[in-house]
Amino acid sequence: MSAEEELGGMIGRQVVIDARAPYVYLGTLDSFTECFVTLRDVDVHDATDSHCTKEMYIMGARKLGVQRNRASVKILRSEIVSISLLSDVVVFE
C-alpha cells in the first residue's frame, strides 16, 4: 500500500503527528500533498514548554480529548517522524 493510500484512509480522523522537533501535533487530518500534511482543529504541543513527555501528553489527550489551540496547521512531511490515529494510542494506567 502506498503512503498516499494509507494517509487517505486517515482523512477526517484524529491523528497524532510526532515531529523531528520537540513538537507533537494532535488534530483532524484534513489533506496532504507531496510536501505538506494539513490538520484542522489542532493542538500543537511543544514538549520543551512542559513538565511531561510527549507520550504522557498524547495519552492525556487520548483520555480527555484534543484541546485545540490552532484552527489549521500545515506540517512539512520531511519533518514528520510518525503519524498514527489517536484512537490507536494505548493509555497506560
Domain assignments of the chain as residue spans, ordered by start: 3-79
Strands (E), the chain: 14-19, 23-32, 36-46, 70-76, 80-85
Residues 60 and 63: their CA atoms lie apart, in Å, by 5
Q: What are the pLDDT tens digits along the chain (93 aa)?
A: 777 778 889 999 999 999 998 999 999 999 999 999 999 999 999 988 878 888 899 999 999 999 999 999 999 999 999 999 999 998 876
Q: DSSP 3-state assignment of 16?
A: strand
Structural fold of domain 3-79: SH3 type barrels. (2.30.30)
Q: What is the pLDDT of residue 15?
A: 98
Q: Which three cell numbers stand for residue 25?
A: 501535533
Residues 3 and 55: their CA atoms lie apart, in Å, by 24
